[in-house]
Structures are given as structure tokens and as C-alpha cells.
Structure 1
Amino acid sequence: MTDSVKPRARAADKRRRLTAEAARVLHEQGVERTTLADIARAAGVPVGNVYYYFKTKDELILAALCEHSSRLDQLTARLDRLPDPRDRLKALVESWIEQREVAARHGCPTGSLAVELGKRADGTLDAEAGAVIRRLLDWAAQQFRALGLPDPDDLAVTLVSAYQGMSLLTNALRDPAVTVREGARLLRWLDSLKAAG
């Protein structure tokens, strides 16, 4: 590796660490309670270096949203390897159930961030958070469409709304069992859906 490549690789690694830790810390602490120093500390990067990669906190929040989007893409890519759309949807619900302890402590990573950003006076970035949720809705609608079910977009809204609701209640009550119960209900609902005709 040449000397010029090493600094670029280190810089890319720092940026990746900052982005990943921003997604985690913002989820755990919320936007208003999180400082750039918190994220720098979590990433193991001197706080002064953060400004080299991200000029403002909003740029770092945007990077965190991109991280959420990337994680969603990775998840749906794994799920897309399953041959049956119903199995893909059920595996999605099972992934939510697996994250029940995280939901109990911090809620849904993207949903809680979207709610918090939506309350900011400047109105920036809330649409970006909504775009990540829209990607999930679109993917779910594709699965319902592939099953030949009527109103696939509405079914996707029902599914994602149920997830956001169970995530909120799990967090508010600090009770992972809410996600287990509601996740099981969603799995039964998915099994009950029949194509028209």
C-alpha cells in the first residue's frame, strides 16, 4: 500500500466510525442530548477531527440517517434471498422481535429519530428520516404485491404502523414482551392474508 493510500484509508475508516457511532448514539440519547463530543468519544476520534468530516451537527445527523438507510438495505437484501414474499415479511417481523431489548431501551432507531426531528423548529432533516421509513414501506408493499394481495400499499402501512406502535409501547413501558406479543400477532396476520380471486 502506498503512503498516499494509507491516509485516505484511515480517513475513510474514521468517517465510517463516526457515521456508525452517530447512528447509535443519536438513537440512544436523542438529537438534543447528543453532542459532537459524545459521538467523537464513542468513535474514538478526537473531537476536533469531527469538523474535518462533518461541519455541523445536522451533517452528522444526515450521515446517521444514511447509516439507517444502509442498514435497511442490508436487511432487505438478506430477506430478498428468501424465495417466498410471505417468508420475507415474516422474517422482517422476526428481526423486529429479535431487537426487542433495544426497542425497550431506545425505541425504533429511525422512527424515534423521525419523531424528534419532526419537532425541531427549523424543520430540517425530518423529510430525510421519513424517506428511510418510506423505503421500508415500499419494500413491504413490493412483497404484498408479489403475493397478489389487494391494496399492497395499505397493507405495508398497516405492517409498518404496527411495528412503530409496538416499538413505541415497548419503549414507553420498558417491556420487551410487548414486542414479542405484538410480533406474534403480526406473524399470524401475515399467515391469514389471502390473495383475491
Structure 2
Amino acid sequence: MTNSGDRRAQAAQKRRRLSAAAARVLHEQGVERTTLADIAREAGVPVGNVYYYFKTKDELVRAALAEHRARLDELTAGLDRLPDPRARLAALVESWTAERESTARHGCPTGTLAAELGKRADGTLDAEAGAVLRRLLDWAAAQFRAWGVPDPDGHALTLVSAYQGMSLLAHALRDPAVMTAEGARLLRWLDSLGAGPGVSP
């Protein structure tokens, strides 16, 4: 690789590190309380480097949302390797409950960001946060559709709404047990749907 190629690779790596740091810090602190210096510190780079890659905090918020989207895609790609849609949906719920401690402290990473951005007047970044949640809804609906469950879009909405609700309550009450209890309830709900045409009993 040439020197210019090395520099491009290093720049891409540093930008990704800053994006990942932005996703973590914004989840823990929220948009308003987070500074570019906070993100630089989390990423382990000088604050001047942040301005080289991201001119404004909004650009970093957009990068954090891209990070959330990439993590969701990575999660669903892993779930897609499971043998049937019912197993994939159950594993999704289990992944939510596995994050119960973090959720109780900080809420759902994308949901809390969408709620905060929704209070702003410009209405652009909140739409991008909504698009990440829409991606999750679409994936869940595809699983219910493959399962052969009637009204797959409605079932996906029920599932994701339940996740957002239990995340909000776990965070408000600072109680990870909410995630455990409601996750178990969601698994029982999935079991109650039975074996659709697309699922082996």
C-alpha cells in the first residue's frame, strides 16, 4: 500500500473510532450535555482531530446514528443465520434483555436519541433516528411474514413498541429487572403465536 493509501486507511479508522465514541457518549449523556471534547476523550484523540473529521456536533450525531444502523445490521445479519423466523425473533428479544444493565442506566440507544432529537426544531436528525427504528420494524415484519403470522406489520409494531416501552420504564425506574420480566413476557407472547406455515413445530 502506498503512503497515501496508508493515510487514507488511518483516516478511515480514526473516523470510525470517533463515530463509535460518539455513539457511546451520546447514549450515556445525551446530545445537549455532550461536547466534542467528550467524544475526543472517549476516542483517545486530540480534540483538534475531531474538527478535522466532523465540523459540528450534528455531524457527529449523524455519524452516531450511522453507527447504530451498522450495529443493527450486524445484529440482524447474525440472527438471519438462525434456522427459522420464530427463533430469530426470540433471539432478538434475548439480545435486548442481555443489555438490561446498560438500558436501565441509559435507555435504548436509538430510542432515547430519537426522543431527544424530536424536540428540536429542524426535524432532520430525528427523521434519521426514526429511519433506524423503521429498519428494525421492517426486519421484524419480514420475520413474522416468513413465519406466516397474520398481520406481520402489526405484530412487528407490537414487538418493537414493547421493546421501547420496557426500555423507557427500565431507564426511568433504574431497574434492569423490568427488561428481564418484560423480555420473558415477550417470549411467551411469541410462543403463543404457535407455529405458522413457515415454521417447523
Aligned to 2:187: 187
Give 3-state SS (helix, strand or coil) of 1:55's partner.
coil
- Paired residue type of 2:99: Q
Q: Which moved more, 1:48-57 or 1:77-86?
A: 48-57
Question: Whole-Å Cα distance in 2 between the matches of residues 144 and 123 of structure 1?
Answer: 31
Aligned to 2:141: 141
How far did 1:63 drift?
0.6
TM-score, L = length of structure 1: 0.97
Aligned to 2:44: 44
Aligned to 2:16: 16
Aligned to 1:31: 31
Aligned to 1:82: 82
Q: Which runs of 5+ in 1 are unaligned?
A: none
Aligned to 1:67: 67
Aligned to 1:132: 132
Question: Whole-Å Cα distance in 2 between the matches of residues 23 and 159 of structure 1?
Answer: 24
Question: Whole-Å Cα distance in 1 between the matches of residues 141 and 124 of structure 2?
Answer: 27
Q: Percent identity?
A: 80
TM-score, L = length of structure 2: 0.95
Aligned to 2:120: 120
- Paired residue type of 1:73: D
Q: Deviations over 1:99-149 (max 9, x none)?
A: 000001000000000000001122220000000000000000000000111
- Paired residue type of 2:181: R
Aligned CA RMSD, in angstroms, stands at: 1.1
- Paired residue type of 1:134: R
Question: Whole-Å Cα distance in 2 between the matches of residues 140 and 34 of structure 1?
Answer: 32
Aligned length: 196
Question: Whole-Å Cα distance in 1 between the matches of residues 165 and 179 of structure 2?
Answer: 9
Aligned to 1:157: 157
Question: Whole-Å Cα distance in 1 between the matches of residues 178 and 18 of structure 2?
Answer: 32
Q: Which runs of 5+ in 2 are unaligned?
A: none
Q: Deviations over 1:26-56 (max 9, x none)?
A: 0000000001110011101111111111111
List 4+ stretches of structure 1 deviating above 6 A. none
Aligned to 2:3: 3
